[in-house]
Chain A
Amino acid sequence: MNEGPTYQAVRWNEPIIFELSRKGRRGHSVPGVEPEIKAAVGDIESRIPERMRRKSPPMLPELSEPTVIRHFIRLSQQTYGVDSGIHIHGTCTMKYSPRVNETLARSPKITDLHPLQDSDNVQGVLAIMYQLQNWLCELSGMAEFSLQPRGGAHAVFSNARIIREYHRMKGELDQRNEIITTVLSHPCNGGAAAMSGFKVVTLYPDEETGCPDIDAVKKAVTKHTAGLLMTDPYDTGVFDSNIEAYIKLVHEAGGLVAVDQANANSILGRLRIGDIGADLCHFNLHKSFSTPHASTGPGSAAIGAKPELTKFLPVPIVAYDGEKYTLDYNRPHTIGKIGEFYGVIPNIVRAYAWIMSMGAEGLLESSEVAVINNNYLIKKLLGVRGVSLPWQKAHPLRLQEGRFSLEKMKQETGIGVDDVNRRIIDYGLQDMETSHEPWIIPEPFTPEPPETTSKEDLDRFAQVLHAISHEAYTNPQIIKTAPHNAAISKIDRTPSSDPKKWAMTWRSYVKKMGRNS
Chain B
Amino acid sequence: MLKEIPVTDAEQLFADIPKRIMYSKRLNLPHPTSEYETRRHVEDLLSRNRTSRELISFLGAGCWPHYVPAVCDEINSRSEFLTAYAGDPYTDLGRYQALFEFQSMIGELVGLDVVSYPWYDWGSVAADAVRMASTVTGRREVLVPRTMSPDRLAIMRSYCDGQIEITFVKGNPETGQLDPEDLKDKASAKTAAIYIENPTYLGFIETGCEDIAKLAHDRGALFIAGVEPLSLGILTPPGEYGADIACGEGQPLGLHPSYGGALLGFLACKDEERLVSVVPHRLISITRTEKSGEWGFCYVRPERTMFAARDKAGSITGTATALWAITAAVYMSLLGPSGIQELAKTIMEKSNYAMKRLAEIEGVRVPLFDAAHFEEFTVNLDSTRKPMREINRTLMKSGVIGGKDISNEFPELGNTSLFCVTETHTKPDIDKLAAALEVAIQ
Contacts and interface: CB of A to CB of B under 8 A. Distances in A.
Contact of B75 (A32, A72, A272, A437): A72
Contacts of B426: 31, 34
A40 B352 CA distance: 9
Interface residues of B, number: 201
A26 B427 contact: no
Interface stretch (A56-64, A213-221, A408-416): A56-64
Given A33-B350, A47-B352, A98-B35, A191 B306 contact: yes
Interface residues on A, range: 35 or more
A57 B80 CA distance: 33
B222 to A, nearest CB: 18
Given A68-B71, A111-B257, A297-B322, 14 more contacts: A54-B234, A55-B236, A98-B35, A110-B261, A114-B63, A156-B316, A191-B311, A286-B319, A341-B259, A376-B1, A395-B16, A425-B91, A455-B1, A499-B271
A109 B46 contact: yes
Interface in B59-97: 59, 61-63, 65, 67, 69, 71, 73-75, 77-95, 97
Interface string A325-346: 0000000000111111111111
Nearest to B109: A58
Contacts of B162: 164, 197
B383 interface: no
B21 A124 contact: no
B256 A89 contact: no
A98 B355 CA distance: 46
A127 B13 contact: no
Contacts of B124: 150, 339-340
A353 interface: yes
Nearest to B229: A58
B213 to A, nearest CB: 12
A233 B17 CA distance: 10
B286 A356 contact: no
Contacts of A373: 1
19 contacts: A16-B100, A26-B334, A49-B372, A52-B209, A60-B109, A72-B75, A77-B80, A78-B94, A84-B79, A124-B47, A270-B22, A296-B86, A340-B63, A357-B32, A361-B32, A363-B27, A504-B271, A505-B115, A506-B107
Contacts of A135: 29
A345 B260 CA distance: 7
A400 to B, nearest CB: 11
A402 to B, nearest CB: 12
A323 B408 CA distance: 26
Complex A-B, nearest 4 residue pairs according to Cβ-Cβ distance, in ascending order: A345-B261, A341-B260, A115-B260, A81-B83
Interface in A186-217: 187-188, 190-197, 200, 202
A358 interface: yes
Given A339-B155, A360-B26, A506-B107, A494 B287 contact: yes
A193 B311 contact: yes
A113 B52 contact: yes
A84 B338 contact: no
A69 B71 contact: yes
Contact of A357 (B33, B49, B78, B295): B33
A476 to B, nearest CB: 18
Interface stretch (B166-174, B182-190, B324-332, B433-441): B324-332
Report which residue of A73, A114, A504 has the largest number of chain B beta carbons within 10 angstroms of its beta carbon.
A504
B144 to A, nearest CB: 15
B82 A489 contact: no
A28 B158 CA distance: 40
Contact of B73 (A81, A106, A335): A106
A471 interface: no
Nearest to A187: B310
Contact of A295 (B85, B233, B392): B85
A82 B260 CA distance: 27
A442 interface: no
Contacts of B17: 239, 241, 267, 270-271
Interface string A400-433: 0000000000000000000001100100001101
B138 interface: no
A79 interface: yes
A41 B346 CA distance: 11
A94 interface: yes
B45 A124 contact: yes
A112 B29 CA distance: 30
B320 A34 contact: no
Interface in A60-92: 60-63, 65, 68-69, 71-84, 87, 89, 92
B22 A191 contact: no
B257 A114 contact: yes
Report which residue of A65, A82, A150 has the largest number of chain B beta carbons within 10 angstroms of its beta carbon.
A150
B342 to A, nearest CB: 5
B158 A110 contact: no
